[in-house]
Structures are given as C-alpha cells and as structure tokens.
Chains A and B, each alone.
Chain A
C-alpha cells in the first residue's frame, strides 16, 4: 500500500457567525492556505475532493458552486455529501489507487446561514419520523438515554465532557472561546430533549478546513503519515439499531487499527480527536473507539483520563463542543490530529504525541463513521 502523508493543513478561525465572507471566499481562503502550507500549486494538484452539504448551502449539487474557490477549475474534482473527513477518505483511496499522487480536500459549512435543526430533520424519513420532529438533537437524545440506562451512567458524566472541551477550546486559537462552565452550570442549562441540555450541544459555527494529501515521493512537507483509515455505516432507522453502541465508529476504528497494526488502542494511541455532536456521544465514542472498555465511558471521564493532562487526551482541541462547522467538523478533527503528531498544536499540544486518531461522523445519531490513524513516522 502506498504511503500517503498529510503535507498541508488549514482551518479558518471558527466563528459563530461570519458575516464578512461569503461561502466562496471562505472556501478559497482555506484552500489557498492549505496549498501554500504544502508548497504545492493548484496546477500540480492531481484531484480535488470536497465534502459539504447541499442543504447547508441551499444549492443543489453544491460542488458546482465551489469549483473556482476550491481550486478545481478544469481539474478532476468530486464531492462526498457527508462530513468532509469522508472526503479525505475518498481522496486517500484515489491516491492509493495510483491514479493520482496528490489531492486537495476541502470542507466547509456556515451553520449561521440556515436553521441547522431543519437541516438535520431533512434526514428523517417523511412517513414515520419527520412528523415526530426527529432531528439531530432528538436522535442524539434517544441514543444518550438508551446508553445511560444500559450502563447506569450518570448525567453528570456528560457535563464532565462539556467542562473538559470548553476548557481545551480556550487554549486553541482556532476554536470558539466561550466562557468556561462547571458541571453544575451544565446541569442547570436549558433542557432540550432529555438528557440533552443547551450546554451539552456544540455552538452553531461558520468555518472551513482543507488538507493536502501526497504520496510519499510527492510530499514536500509531510506533517503526518496515514497509518490506516476505515469507515462504517449502521442501519437507517433508529429502531433497528443498538443505540447503546456507536457501531459505525467501532467498525471504522477496527478497519483503521487493523491497517495501522494497532492492537491495544489505549496504549498505542496518544491523542484522539472525535466528533461529539453532543457531550454524551463522546462517552459512547470512548468505548466504540476502544479507548476504554464497553460500559465504562462514564468512569473514563470521571478518572480524568481524557483530560489534556491525562494519560489519553480526547479532543485536546476542544472538539465539536469547541467549534462545530458542520459538515466539516471531522476534517477539522483530522487537522488537529495532524498538528498533534507534528508537534504543532501549541497550547493544546499533547506531549510526545506520535500517534493520533481522528474521527468523523454523519447521519442521525452517528449512523456513519470514519476513522483515520496518523503517525509521525511513515508506515514500514
């Protein structure tokens, strides 16, 4: 298998509302920055893959609109209509195939310019669940409720995730800096759909990210090497799924760990950037990604393990609770994981991180998941 490096990264400084740029200007800025970071020109790039949402932008087949800003004019270009980390996976596949040597991957979203709950409710089917108001929050609430019930997890464990991620976000110059909260304040915040309260949810965010992937001989500035990656997709109806386990992340991680030769994730993964669209999902992800045993997500956070100064930091960047530019949050997680293994994460650097995980998700209650494993050293 070809060795592929991430040789350029860029992300915008995330904002709750970016009124000063159009989507096209935001895409262009981040794409240009990633190419410059990689020391590669638009002409040299083999293929451009974007990850974005028609419904978010209000334009059907919206990659027709991103052609010029994403550097794709008269080039090979395609799109994945999911979280942009899935676009990175597709770009990686294209390089592995040998058909291309370099790729630019771009993702973006301006959550402030539409109603993101209406957007997520469009994923519900019109016959049974959309009239019930099924949307991202309701799906996550049913998932969190089932999970907590099964393992006897305390609702305050979710609050622990909020406290951690908001605190980490304040050390990340790209995240949105909200006032820190303690667990009591989280528990007292406005109930939305039990157990989810306002403080358990990420901020609506405008932002974009881009990376350059390059096959070994074409990577001028390899920040990190892809040791393995994988995806997984669960069934559609919530009622046909085991909501107490994020199976999509589990099967994606198994594939990624298999390729990376990882047998003991808690020992071999030094930092993890995961896509928690609500606080409780981070607990489920600790388990699904094999970072702690099944059922122990609450205990894991209570012991301080995933904190920035703990043995296995999760979301040192602040995660989605820090900034959530849907649908490119997963690509931001990859950028952050790359910064970790490249030693460039500044104030939120995990010491001696040589292997980091990035996780992305799409679909209600994490129906689909994608995991990348990144290392400082190339694969053997």
Chain B
C-alpha cells in the first residue's frame, strides 16, 4: 500500500527597502503627486521610477520630476478572473498609460466603473483617495478615469 501526496503552503515574510528613488516616489504618492525618475544623460523620464536607466547604465537624477496628471491609454485588458486580494471585482480594466511628460508607461486600473467607453488613445486622469486615506502606496490612486472631452 502506498500513499500519494502531502499538501503544503509556503508563506515567506518580506520587508522590501525602497531606497532613495522609490522612497521619494511613494512620498509623492502620499502628497497626491506623480513623480518620475529622469536619466541625466538621455533625459528619459521613467514612471514608475527605476533607480537606474537601463540603456545608459547610470543612476537616475537624485531629485524626481513631476509628471502627468493626465495620461493616454496605450493598451488595456478587461479582467474577468477572480483571485484573492483583488483591488476590484471583475469585470474591470488594467491599462498601460503614458503620463504627460513621461517616456515609459505605467500600469494601473483604468476606467473605474465605466470601462465600456474605454478605447486605446483615451485620455484619462487619476482619481486620488482623499489625503487622510493615502498611505504612500501606488494605490493611493484608486484608478484613472476618462477625461470628458470639452467641445
């Protein structure tokens, strides 16, 4: 006679240090500002920031630069899967957004409750949590919602 299997789960705790670049970025989130990292050599602005410019292989400038708040939707996907810890209930959209003043693009929730009208090329802006609810997280922005085009 032979048994077939045993179940297990691994939970591993972490405390991830930000370093000075990410530290500034998240302080900016708490303040309701979107900050990008700029390479002194090629001048590319990255958001979310990396501490290093990959192509130039140099550290970014010490002080981050403000970008956005508006962005253009480069692409998006409508999520229908459920999993624990989800930020919203499906269906909702995650997009890749290019903020004004940034060269790289960032992922975030887009559309909020109004995903039907989303298009590639839509202009969007962040919907911030009120200051007292912000903790210095990327999700101090609830989502990006379409900007109403004024005629």
Partners in one complex: yes
Chain B residues 94 to 127 lying within 8 A of chain A, measured CB to CB, are 94, 96-97, 104-109, 120
Interface: A193 (CB within 8 A): yes
Interface: A129 (CB within 8 A): yes
B48 and A131 within 8 A (CB): no
Size range of the chain A interface in the assembly:
20 to 34
Contact of B8 among A58, A145, A240 (CB under 8 A): A58
Minimum CB–CB distance for B85 against chain A, Å:
8
| Contact bitstring A8-51, B, C-beta under 8 A = 1, else 0 | 00000000000110000000000000000000000000000000
In the complex, A137→B18 CA distance in Å?
A: 27
A193 and B79 within 8 A (CB): yes
Q: Which of B86, B87, B138 has the most CB of A within 10 A?
A: B138
Contact of B77 among A58, A126, A131, A142 (CB under 8 A): A142
A128 and B48 within 8 A (CB): yes
Interface: A64 (CB within 8 A): no
In the complex, A138→B78 CA distance in Å?
A: 9
A138: B residues at CB distance < 8 A? 77, 79, 94
Chain B residues 37 to 67 lying within 8 A of chain A, measured CB to CB, are 46, 48, 50, 54
Minimum CB–CB distance for A57 against chain B, Å:
11
B78 and A194 within 8 A (CB): yes
Minimum CB–CB distance for B138 against chain A, Å:
5
A142 and B96 within 8 A (CB): yes
Which one of A69-77, A79-87, A231-239, A283-291 is at the B interface? A231-239
| Contact bitstring A237-258, B, C-beta under 8 A = 1, else 0 | 1111001000000000000000
A239 and B16 within 8 A (CB): no
A19 and B79 within 8 A (CB): no
In the complex, A146→B76 CA distance in Å?
A: 8
A residues contacting B by CB (< 8 A) are 19-20, 58, 117, 126-129, 131-134, 137-138, 141-142, 145-146, 149, 190-196, 235-240, 243
Q: A131-B87, A146-B74, A237-B50 are in contact. List 19 more A-B contacts (CB 8 A).
A: A19-B4, A126-B14, A127-B16, A127-B22, A131-B85, A132-B87, A133-B81, A133-B94, A138-B79, A142-B96, A142-B107, A145-B75, A149-B120, A192-B79, A193-B80, A193-B94, A237-B48, A238-B105, A239-B48
